[in-house]
Amino acid sequence: MSNAKLLPLLKPDSQGVAPCCPPLTERPFTAEEAETAARMFKALGDPVRLRLFSAVASHEGGEACVCDISDVGVSQPTVSHHLKKLKEAGLLTSERRGTWVYYRVEPSVLAAMGQLLTMGPAAA
């Protein structure tokens, strides 16, 4: 049993997707919003993690077997470590099927990340 804590990146609203934080240009972040966004960006701040996240996000069908994305220039245990960090940041979900683990980026996570980085009304 894992004791990993998932970050609350999304709080569904009436449209199904809400970012963890307002767009950067809308207003200053609260301490909680800044902590949540920083964890997400920290997880993506490593080149290997960013490559893995991109490999999963761009994989056909929206999910990827670890066997299909592990060729990122590091050992398999290191790949597992980085995938674990991405899961802990709430950026990936996983499902074990037999001996393989399949990873998925939920479309709502990508939408929330995009909304966070869009220009808000203050910048227009």
pLDDT for 110: 78
pLDDT band at 124 (very low <50, low <70, confident <90, very high): low
How much is the mean pLDDT over the chain?
80
pLDDT digits (tens, 9 = 90+) for 5-38: 444 444 443 334 445 677 778 888 889 888 888 8
Average pLDDT over residues 30-58: 90
HSE (CB half, 13 Å, CA atoms) of 115?
A: 14
pLDDT for 120: 60
Is residue 40 pLDDT above 90, yes or no?
no
HEC sequence for the chain = CCCCCCCCCCCCCCCCCCCCCCCCCCCCCCHHHHHHHHHHHHHHCCHHHHHHHHHHHHCHHHEEEHHHHCCCCCCHHHHHHHHHHHHHCCCCEEEEECCEEEEECCHHHHHHHHHHCCCCHHHC
Average pLDDT over residues 77-101: 92
CA distance 75 to 45: 19
Average pLDDT over residues 95-100: 93
pTM: 0.74
pLDDT for 7: 43
User: What are the tokens at 119?
Assistant: 């220009």
Strand partners, 100: 97
Length of the chain (residues): 124
